[in-house]
Structure 1
């Protein structure tokens, strides 16, 4: 699938409308995506598990339901990929590790169950790093196969599916979205249930989504969001209503704060220049601010919480086959075992301090603007790249979105990250929609 074909691909919301109104069948849509997968999968290696016959069978059931006049969900007949850390009753779930080879869950995760209830077709399971940590899988960046994709965004970027579900405990939604040039949305912590998802860190684990436009990302989060008694981070609330409210924001332009954050020293020169130019374009709508001094230690605080909880939740299982655990994950587990209870509790207290400070910032600003990654996707496949620009926002549980509106010096995508207050996911998407419009308008004027 060429870049031009990907740009012309209709979004998931358009597909769902066409499916409901009979302009296209689910079987036709699935066949189109399977053809793209057949063409590009040998080069990109996006799938851990794919069964074309099963995908076709799901499509036929979806078409039969429409023809019978049954009620149709908001994603009826739309293909969606799921990261291979979410349990699926019809596909293996192996967490990117030989330790879990052949694992077949009996029940769907909350994510898979909600997708099916919405009528979506679970097209396949996308590759994950080892237990969703640092040791990369075989997936390559569709813009340049010699570079890392950073995570699960590659299949959406390559046009193999319109939507995908991923996770973020550090940077595994925002970073790969930046590297692959798609929209990556990490909602507020607890908005989407993690039942049936690999448990790394209850404090930090988020469910996130990848899409080719903001409307589609909002639609997918609306489908997945909701209270689940099995996940204590979720809470009873009204429908998120992100897709419905996306284009109904206030008429006044938002007020943004540019935040360098604790990882600014990692930003590549081209990234700094790109954000300088963006700041010039936004003018007085963007104000540069410095976070208080304690934020300088935020990434260390994140690592303390992460490794301690990782060692607690994964350590016993992995200890049964240490020879099958990568050096990267072994190091994380060892770091976690060394964390003292006093230091762990202190890190949780710092998280609360950060959130109180951010609440004050969000009284003045609608959203914060910051890089999504240090730069373009790095060369090579030995690493998934640095999550340093994501760790603080994951630690605090704030909603964040990566917007594919910038470009690096090698012509690779460069994401722009927006962050909003906890629970303010709709405002985040409205600001993102405004910013995308501003940048598109400026690009049009420049031609």
Structure 2
């Protein structure tokens, strides 16, 4: 018998709305799954069962009263442990913040509460959302990394502990763990979701993203979190886009994809290169191989310059307060960032707009770029989070990106297909992603073709 914990958020919502499923039932199903899988997966930094149950009872009482409900009413959500949650331990993956309990919610947590979501707890992050791994293991194979830095969020959704989770990406911290764990990960356009109350690592790059089991789920959650925040200069005072409606609509024509190997194609494993060859052949006339302009070859160095210079500034207080309690990776990052010259940093920031101008011709002809989400399957071992090379360029550009669990590697583990769209056209990207998911799924089921 299928558990409620295995259903997508989009499948659960109408059942909750009709009263066929109570929020208390759903939370109990999630807690049962957590009890079953958490000893192995270790996705949670903080989980308080009574806290979750109390929210579920309140949600059911609210619905029974006949009062209006929000778009996430009764849905459990996991929140990355660098996102402030009032009164709930938020320790940022570092012993230097042990016992920290914020006095206020991050803006996105306030939005979750307003939408009726149930805050299940805080999911594990790497140290300060950088590269030193947390305790989480990959639900597909506990001997392999779940990716990072949003490791707990991706693993919790993949293991059926929650239908939805929130993470962040500064290099590849949503797309990579989603690919390794086999779920949908969506990093929207830079600035779509406000970051006030989220740990600041690199303000030119930090982006809030989401995890779900379907494109529709990701669109639903991202839409609820989007909006303007005067405290976050990356956001804009414009209406939030109707992501869910657009994502689930039928495109007027079959989308066209630009297969971009990117400057790091040589880092893709043989199985990844072979799988993408098969995928592009399957798409036929709807996919062309396209090369990026030569300046994109400098993208990874530019990203690193910006990230480390800003990280050194923002994490300097941690370095001074407790250098000996930071990982070797973090100490080295702060020290390297401090060595970057101001004119090199400022020049690197200027490249963001230059590179986006270089993408204009591609997006004038194609609906989305198709490229790997990671070099291959999740690597064996837990002492590193995997290679983010296939994500850094798109984080630098601030373009929306989504990874889809469409491929399998030689070990039978997930390999993500990443789609990238133009800035501020997140809905169309998600619509193209939903179309591709359906095409490949129907082909694998023998129920259709492209």
Per the normalisation by structure 2, the TM-score is: 0.97
Q: Give the aligned partner of residue 173 of structure 1.
A: 174
Name the Cα RMSD after superposition. 1.4
Matches within 5 A, 1:189-204: 189-204=190-205
- The equivalent residue for 1:351 is 352
Residues of 2 paired with 1:63 and 1:240: CA distance?
Answer: 29
Question: Structure 2 matches for 1:116-195, cutoff 5 A?
Answer: 116-150=113-147, 151=151, 152-195=153-196
**CA distance in 2: counterparts of 1:246 and 1:178, whole angstroms:** 20
**Equivalent runs, 1:297-308 vs 2, <5 Å:** 297-308=298-309
Gaps of 5+ in 2: none
Q: Distance in 2 between matches of 1:269 and 1:263?
A: 13
Query: Per-residue deviation at 1:261?
Result: 0.8
SS in 2 for 1:415: strand
Q: Report how far residue 434 of structure 1 moved.
A: 1.2
**Distance of 1:443 and 1:233 partners within structure 2:** 41
- Is 1:364 the counterpart of 2:365 in the alignment? yes
**Partners of 1:431 and 1:19 in 2: how far apart?**
28
Counterpart-to-counterpart distance in 2, 1:82 and 1:250: 32
Q: Does 1:87 align with 2:84?
A: yes
1:52 to 37, 40, 49: 49
After TM superposition, give the deviation of residue 6 of structure 1 in Å.
7.5
Would you say how many aligned residue pairs link Structure 1 and Structure 2? Answer: 444
**Any idea what the Cα deviations from partners look like across 1:261-306, whole Å, max 9, x if unmatched?**
1211110000000000001111111110111111111111100000
SS at match of 2:288: strand
Does residue 114 of the first structure (1) align with residue 111 of the second (2)?
yes
Moved more, 310-319 or 326-335: 310-319
Using the TM superposition, give the Cα deviation of residue 446 of structure 1 relative to its aligned residue in structure 2, in angstroms: 8.8
* Structure-2 separation of matches of 1:282 and 1:250: 16
Output aligned runs, 1:319-358, within 5 Å: 319-358=320-359
TM-score (norm. length: structure 1): 0.97
Q: Are the equivalent residues in 1 in contact too, given 2:4–2:29 (CA < 8 A)?
A: no
Structure 1 partner of 2:243: 242
Counterpart CA distance in 2 for 1:14 and 1:250 is 22
Residue of structure 2 equivalent to 1:33? 30
Which sections of structure 1, spanning at least 5 residues, go unmatched? none
Question: Following TM superposition, by how much is the alpha carbon of 1:5 offset from its aligned partner in structure 2, in angstroms?
Answer: 4.9
- Correspondence 1:75 to 2:72: yes
Aligned counterpart, 2:432:
431
Aligned to 1:153, the other structure's residue is in SS state helix
Superposed CA deviations along residues 73-113 of structure 1, whole A, max 9, x for unmatched, are 01111100000000001311100000000011000001111
Q: CA deviation at 1:249?
A: 3.7
CA contact (8 A) 1:6 1:159 kept: no
3-state SS of the aligned residue for 1:380?
Answer: coil
Provide the C-alpha distance between the structure 2 equivalents of 1:158 and 1:147, rounded to a whole number of angstroms. Answer: 14
